[in-house]
Amino acid sequence: MQIDGAGRQQRGHVLLIAGDAAVRRRAVQVAPSANLAALGVLPASALLNSHVPNDTTYLDGARDPNTVLMRLRAAAATPGPLLVYLSGRLTLDRRGHGLHLALAGTTASTVRYTALPWDWLGTELAARPTGPTTVVLDLVADKSAWPVLQEYGSLPASPSAEVYGVVVPPAFAGGQQQVSAYTRHWIDQLRRSPTRPSNLQLHAFAVGAAALPPGTLVLPATRELSASAAQQAPPEQVPDPRPHIHALASGGRHQEAATLAQAWEQHVLQTHGHTSPEATHWAEIRADLARMAGNYRSATQLWINAGHTRLEHQPPDAPEVLAAAAGALYCWTQLKDQAAARDSGPELVRLLRALPSLEPRLLRLTQQRLEVLEGSPAGRTI
């Protein structure tokens, strides 16, 4: 038996809430009932990341916001860990301009009476006991709610809760009535991983693998996810994330691709060490992502670092060493900013000089360009 600081027995709670389905042009954008059914197959201990005794509450098809409020209040009162999952359509009360989770039967004219005010979620969770609180969202915003979300840049929730999820924009065409991609990938990772990943790890992989529509609001935002990646990283055994990362970058979603790659690199660093071949490989992946995004300054430095690291463990004629040098040289030649090219030039020359099998012309041309750079007035572009 686990006891909290107040002497109460620890007990967890899983609250799964399905709001109204989001439909656009007769195509279902999100099917909350299907999402809840899929989550219901998982053990509550996996959802909670805890083996304390727990209860699970399903709310599917509710029409009265006060009914949902009572269930939410009861769940929030649990002294142990709490997971609240919400899926459905996010809408706006046009009179009070407050965000609401649409429930079954909610229409544009009845939002104030038939939908759950979003503020209620934050209010109830703010009064939680000491147990950890997690909120997972898989939502679609309608045309009335989306401008408000863009203004906020986020979706407000209790500061005491960890909030993960996505809000898809209203222009998304939708698909069939099935489990949505974000929730599906979250579930897949819980099923496949030999040890339960952290919620941040689950979220990072689901965001990268779900092929989310452009403009999707990701919670936490990618910049926050990047900041957290140093503490937590994705699970060691998942489908290979590299195709998903490459697909993100190829689709122009460079920040999401870079964030997911950085999270995997941090995991590898913690697992295998900073000078391991695995860590160097992920540094090279990030270098190539920077190249795809047109960030040649970062790509050049990452390729140079990877080349030097490989030279510490591999012969100078190893294909991986030569490939890193080629990547660094190419990205350096694409730099138009004089200061950036001049700063990284000496390191690049040092790398190329350490490769006897390199074509001499490449080193000579690099040195000549660096000499021109060093003799040019500051601030010019080339």
Can you spell out the DSSP letters for 257-292? HHHHHHHHHHHHHHHH-TTSHHHHHHHHHHHHHHHH
The 8-class DSSP code of residue 162 comes to E
Lowest-confidence pick of 11-15, 98-102, 246-250, 302-306: 246-250
Q: pLDDT tier at 198 (50, 70, 90 boundaries)?
A: confident
Q: Higher model confidence: residue 62 or residue 7?
A: 62
Tell me, what's the pLDDT at 256?
A: 79
Tell me, what's the pLDDT at 305?
A: 93
Tell me, what's the pLDDT at 358?
A: 82
66 conformational bin, left if phi > 0, alpha if psi -120 to 50, beta if neither: alpha
Secondary structure (3-state) at 158: coil
Work out the average pLDDT over 144-173. Answer: 82
Single pTM value for the model: 0.64
- Does residue 359 have a pLDDT over 90? no
Tell me, what's the pLDDT at 362?
A: 87
Q: What is the CA radius of gyration of the chain?
A: 25
CA-CA distance, 244 to 228, in Å (whole number)? Answer: 20
Distances (CA, A) of 266 to 160, 273, 300: 26, 10, 20
Work out the average pLDDT over 186-211. Answer: 78
- Amino acid making up residue 319: P
Half-sphere exposure of 346 (CA within 13 A, CB side): 3
Tell me, what's the pLDDT at 380?
A: 43
Work out the average pLDDT over 112-138. Answer: 90
Work out the average pLDDT over 185-213. Answer: 78
- Does residue 226 have a pLDDT over 80? no
- Does residue 222 have a pLDDT over 90? no
Work out the average pLDDT over 146-157. Answer: 80
- Does residue 349 have a pLDDT over 90? yes
CA-CA distance, 111 to 81, in Å (whole number)? Answer: 31
Lowest-confidence pick of 37-46, 107-116, 264-273, 298-307: 264-273
Q: What is the pLDDT of residues 60-75, one digit of tens each?
A: 989 999 999 999 999 9
Q: pLDDT tier at 90 (50, 70, 90 boundaries)?
A: very high
- Amino acid making up residue 108: A
Q: What is the pLDDT of residues 316-333, one digit of tens each?
A: 988 888 888 888 998 998
- Does residue 173 have a pLDDT over 80? no
CA-CA distance, 10 to 345, in Å (whole number)? Answer: 60
What is the residue whose two structure tokens read 């009845």? Answer: 110
Lowest-confidence pick of 1-5, 109-113, 167-171, 353-357: 1-5
Tell me, what's the pLDDT at 232?
A: 45
Main-chain phi, psi angles of 367, to 5 degrees: -65, -40
- Does residue 164 have a pLDDT over 80? yes
Work out the average pLDDT over 346-352. Answer: 94
Q: Is the peptide bond before 220 cis (omega within 30 degrees of 0)?
A: yes
- Does residue 28 have a pLDDT over 80? no
CA-CA distance, 84 to 17, in Å (whole number)? Answer: 8
Main-chain phi, psi angles of 149, to 5 degrees: -65, -40
Tell me, what's the pLDDT at 175?
A: 57
CA-CA distance, 167 to 45, in Å (whole number)? Answer: 26
